[in-house]
Amino acid sequence: MLDRPYTFINSAMSADGKIATKRRKQVKISGPADFDRVDELRATSDAVMVGIGTVLADDPSLTVKSPERRQRRLRAGLDENPARIVVDSQARTPPTADIFNKGAGRRIIVVAKAAPADRVRALAEKAEIIVAGEASVDLREMAAQLKRRGIGRLMVEGGATLNYAMMSGRLVDELSVFVGGLIIGGRDAPTLMDGAGVAERSEAVGLKLARCEPMDEGIVLTWKVV
């Protein structure tokens, strides 16, 4: 049995691989059918996770939007929303963030040991705190702790840095991405996977295409990590 949750990344990118503009702000890439697909993925996950960069850029609530899906979760004895997790080494998540203010359910902030104690204390009033790693979050240790806390199915919703760190750390089982009919461009616009990248083809993470499905004005590609 895996010592970490079954983990998948879901994202939306432009035809040129960008997930936001050069101002690093959220941009509408997909349409109603894809929003609905993403809502179902959230509703069927134990937790939804983002990096602190995404919280600071977009302040997402990460809630399940459909009342029917929230009811379905309640009937199954679950919280209305999956647990919402922020990977945040230095405890920079603002206490006013929408993940705290919108919707019912667990919140988990993952910090490193080096996080300032006063900020961790303030966040502990609003969320469960996981400590993993020294200066920055050790994602493998985090994943093991999440599994022990009952997270069996984990959805990662970005951003670029966390996506790549999870993928290159071999902590991801599946990637699904909506590819939309627009070009965003810009060398500073975040892509699906940023971070250090590989120097050789042999170091790349291999994927096997599992599904492709036309949707809205684009296509959803689903890959299994080899």
Binding site for ligand NAP (CB under 6 A): 11-12, 19-20, 24-26, 29, 50-54, 57-58, 87-90, 92, 136-137, 139, 157-162, 165, 190, 194
Q: Which two tokens stand for residue 210?
A: 């599992």
What is the smallest separation between the CB atom of 150 and ligand NAP, expressed in angstroms? Answer: 22
Looking at the Cβ atoms of 39 and 72, the one nearer to ligand NAP is 39
Q: How far is the CB of 215 from ligand NAP (least distance, A)?
A: 14
Tokens of 180: 């939309």
CA distance 95 to 81: 19
DSSP strands (E only) in the chain? 6-14, 47-51, 83-87, 107-111, 128-131, 153-156, 174-180, 207-215, 218-225
Q: Which is nearer to ligand NAP, 157 or 216 (CB)?
A: 157
Closer to ligand NAP at the Cβ: 53 or 105? Answer: 53
CB 156 → ligand NAP: shortest distance, Å?
9
User: Do the strands 218-225 and 174-180 form a parallel or antiparallel pair, or are they unpaired?
Assistant: antiparallel
Question: Minimum distance between the CB of residue 41 and ligand NAP, rounded to whole angstroms?
Answer: 12
Name the helix (H) or strand (E) containing 202.
none
Q: Which is nearer to ligand NAP, 43 or 111 (CB)?
A: 111
Q: What angle do CA 55, 36, 180 make, to 5 degrees?
A: 75
User: CB atoms < 10 A from the CB of 120, how many?
Assistant: 18
With respect to ligand NAP, which residue has the nearer C-beta, 92 or 113?
Answer: 92
In angstroms, give the least distance from the CB of 211 to ligand NAP: 18
